[in-house]
Amino acid sequence: MPTGGDYSGMDSHGHGSQVPGYGSGAGGANASSGPSYDWATTDIEVKITAGKDGSSFEGGKYNDMLGRTIKVPPRNSLSSMSLCDVRLLTGPDERKVIQVPVQYLKAVAPLKNDGVKVLSGEHRGALGTLMGVDVQDGIVSLRGENMYKVLTMSVLGKYIGE
């Protein structure tokens, strides 16, 4: 593991703590406040999925398609039905921009060497590169910093911006 990282928030076994309200992917549950959608941000790769209640967006027409978020409502107004503008990256309607309720979106997990955007926590909005993965933690080189950060993978989205 690289030295000089930011190990704050890690327990004595070297594991990062889960970010409250995030969970794994979009709409992670927090027992006290229900699903949280404040992970939503621009320029990340998302997958269109069924809602937690089993419902589908547009009757499932876009299920499992990948897209790029290009417009997201402000964090303080996000709810399950908030509409995000998504440019489709796959399927017959590739490059088409559609409006999708955030409850049907899930952030795509980055792979080693992918660009990342931090979705939650102290470094929210920061960009970087995923240098490696250690179980549930990502070793990230953030832009503009001369050290590695160890962040829980669930707070990282695959960045596909310019």
Phi, psi of 130 (to 5 degrees): -80, 110
Q: Per-residue pLDDT averaged across 21-42, rounded? A: 57
Residue 31 has pLDDT above 70, yes or no: no
pLDDT for the residue numbered 33: 52
Domains and their CATH numbers in the chain: 29-107 (2.30.30.30), 115-158 (2.30.30.30)
Asked if 98 and 113 count as a contact pair (C-beta separation under 8 A), the reply is no
pLDDT for the residue numbered 75: 86
pLDDT band at 82 (very low <50, low <70, confident <90, very high): very high
From residue 49, alpha-carbon distances to 27, 40, 53, 100, 128 in Å are 11, 15, 11, 10, 26
pLDDT band at 77 (very low <50, low <70, confident <90, very high): confident
Long-range CB pairs of 67-75 (<8 Å, 24+ gap) are 67/98, 67/100, 68/43, 68/44, 68/160, 69/40, 69/41, 69/42, 69/43, 69/44, 69/105, 70/42, 70/43, 70/97, 71/42, 72/40, 72/41, 72/42, 72/102, 73/40, 75/38, 75/40
